[in-house]
């Protein structure tokens, strides 16, 4: 597809914004080529500055569960905006949203809204440290929780180790308190938590990982994690910023029957605006200001337009719609995996309900080391551009999750399946 306007706009963007983007992945660094500048979206389709349409499986990195410009969402935003945008006080929409979340995620007895996922995880960790009086944080290799100083670490090597920073500008003292462990490795988890038990404030985990591509947890791993954190009085934080309200009303925690101490939400809960939220038991959350001594604040937190728009999106999704959405993606994944097997192509789709990732090997992916070994690299980049030329927008980076929205039709997924099959046959020659 030709995209001269995108090219012109991106040149302009580079003159005034760092690298032409406000988030690095948008630069197409992983896949090469000129980044597209999008100008609108409707339903499952994104339109670039040249008017080319792309069926969108990136969906603002999982946020747009109703696709783009859904009528209910746009109406809620407009109606609320007409009454004023920001008051810097408590408003009814944020009370309604908090009631809604507390109802569907019972472990979140009290919540606090913030403006991004990063802010939510950063604040949850501060709260955990404040409550426990401990400094150490445990995370898992390949899980991403936003650009929090303490969590921007390089993956470990399969043994428990003090993490290294993956970004310049992070004081060593932050990273000295972070341990990064392999996902799904129960033995190492047990060893590490036992060794450092009275130093660790919290463990933060994506209960279904999305940021090393989709990795489904072994339930035993999460159960042991809960057991050990309870035993050592370590705060367990579930980062449900992707998974919250994606598969059903609530968090993935209820599917697994595991209750974390704190939960972080974002993305879907705003219908497309910037948002974050964290919450947990009353007894824990009361440590936050103004009730307690852990400080956290925000001018725009709980913004009424964001809250009303998010509520419209969340309320549109009922059990039947979730079931339909999950099934649609699962059926697609099964079809593609069947194709890979039949054709003896060393690839598979790892998926969980309505999120999925392409892997360039047969064997399942259980952790970040597996995800790296199963990365496509140049093959992923070639596939990405092949799909783009067919009018399909897949995430512009390997090791990311793709998503299906309520607006994707069977025909859309059929088109995607045909394109992937065509690419694989062409690649094989």
Ligand X SMILES: Cc1ncc(COP(=O)(O)O)c(C=O)c1O
Give the nearer residue to ligand X in terms of CB position, either 244 or 423.
Answer: 244
Sheet containing 392-393: order of strands? 38-42, 45-48, 53-56, 392-393
Please name the residues in contact with 317: beta carbons below 8 A apart, sequence gap of 6 or more: 65, 66, 245, 249, 406
Residue 146: CB minimum distance to ligand X, A: 3
Long-range contacts of 13-18 (CB under 8 A, 24+ apart): 13/37
* Dihedral, CA of residue 325, residue 328, residue 329 and residue 335, to nearest 10: 170
Least distance in Å: CB of 233 to ligand X? 25
Tokens linked to 24: 């690095």
Say how far apart CA 55 and CA 37 lie, in whole Å. 15
User: Which CB, 210 or 272, lies closer to ligand X?
Assistant: 210
Q: What's the min distance (Å) between Cβ of 148 and ligand X?
A: 9
Other C-beta atoms lying within 10 Å of the C-beta of residue 67: 21
Nearer to ligand X, 9 or 241 (CB): 241
Smallest gap from Cβ 118 to ligand X, in A, equals 3
Q: 49 vs 138, which CB is nearer to ligand X?
A: 138
Among the listed residues 150, 239, 261, 412, the single catalytic one is 239
Asked whether 326 and 403 are in contact (CB, 8 A), the reply is no
Contact 37, 5 (CB under 8 A): yes
Is there a catalytic annotation at residue 370? no
Nearest residue to 361 (alpha-carbon basis) of 350, 351, 353: 350
What would you report as the CA-atom Rg of the chain, rounded to the nearest whole angstrom? Answer: 21
Supply the minimum distance, in Å, between the C-beta of residue 255 and ligand X. Answer: 17
CA 151 and chain centroid, separation: 15
Residue spans of beta strands (DSSP E) within 160-282: 161-162, 178-181, 200-205, 235-239, 262-266, 276-280
CA dihedral 362, 367, 368, 372 (to 10 degrees): -10
Q: Is 144 annotated as catalytic?
A: yes
The nearest distance, CB 241 to ligand X, in angstroms, is 4
Shortest separation between residue 228's beta carbon and ligand X, angstroms:
22
**What residues line the site for ligand X (CB under 6 A)?**
61, 116-118, 121, 144-146, 206, 210-211, 239, 241-242, 266
Which residue among the candidates 30, 57, 267, 412 is catalytic per the annotation?
267
State yes or no: is 239 an active-site residue.
yes
Shortest-Cβ-distance residue relative to ligand X:
117
* Paired tokens of 127: 């709260």
Point out the catalytic residue in the list 144, 322, 352, 380.
144
In the chain, DSSP finds a helix count (H) and a strand count (E) of 15, 15
* Cα distance from N-terminal residue to C-terminal residue, the chain: 23
CA distance 101 to 254: 13
Residues designated as active site: 144, 239, 267
């Amino acid at each position: 597809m030709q995209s001269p306007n995108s090219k012109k706009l991106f040149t302009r963007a580079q003159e005034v914004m760092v690298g032409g983007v406000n988030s690095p992945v948008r630069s197409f660094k992983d896949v090469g080529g000129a980044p597209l500048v999008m100008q609108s979206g409707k339903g499952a389709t994104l339109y670039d500055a040249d008017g080319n349409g792309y069926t969108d499986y990136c969906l603002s990195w999982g946020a747009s569960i109703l696709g783009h410009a859904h009528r209910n969402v746009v109406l809620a935003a407009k109606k609320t905006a007409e009454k004023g945008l920001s008051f810097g006080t408590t408003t009814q929409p944020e009370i309604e949203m908090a009631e809604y979340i507390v109802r569907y995620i019972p472990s979140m007895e009290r919540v606090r809204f913030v403006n991004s996922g990063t802010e939510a995880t950063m604040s949850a960790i501060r709260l955990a440290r404040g409550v426990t009086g401990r400094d150490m944080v445990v995370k898992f290799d390949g899980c991403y929780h936003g650009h929090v100083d303490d969590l921007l670490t390089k993956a470990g090597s399969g043994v428990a180790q003090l993490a290294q920073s993956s970004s310049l500008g992070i004081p060593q003292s932050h990273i000295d308190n972070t341990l990064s462990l392999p996902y799904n490795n129960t033995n190492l988890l047990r060893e590490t938590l036992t060794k450092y038990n009275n130093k660790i404030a919290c463990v933060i985990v994506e209960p279904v990982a999305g940021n090393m591509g989709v990795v489904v947890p072994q339930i035993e791993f999460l159960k042991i994690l809960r057991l050990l954190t309870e035993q050592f009085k370590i705060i367990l934080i579930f980062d449900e910023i992707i998974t919250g309200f994606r598969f059903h009303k609530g968090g993935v925690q209820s599917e697994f029957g595991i209750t974390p101490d704190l939960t972080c939400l974002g993305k879907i809960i705003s219908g497309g605006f910037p948002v974050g939220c964290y919450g947990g038991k009353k007894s824990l959350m009361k440590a936050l200001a103004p009730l307690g001594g852990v400080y956290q604040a925000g001018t725009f937190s709980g913004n009424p337009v964001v809250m009303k728009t998010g509520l419209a999106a969340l309320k549109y999704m009922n059990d039947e719609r979730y079931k339909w959405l999950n099934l649609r993606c699962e059926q697609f994944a099964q079809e593609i995996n069947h194709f890979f097997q039949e054709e003896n192509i060393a690839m598979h789709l790892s998926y969980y309900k309505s999120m999925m990732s392409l892997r360039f090997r047969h064997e399942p992916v259980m952790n970040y080391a597996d995800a790296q070994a199963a990365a496509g690299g140049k093959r992923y980049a070639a596939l990405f551009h092949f799909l783009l030329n067919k009018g399909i927008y897949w995430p512009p980076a390997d090791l990311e999750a793709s998503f299906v929205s309520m607006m994707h039709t069977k025909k859309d997924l059929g088109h995607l399946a045909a394109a992937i099959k065509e690419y694989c046959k062409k690649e094989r020659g």
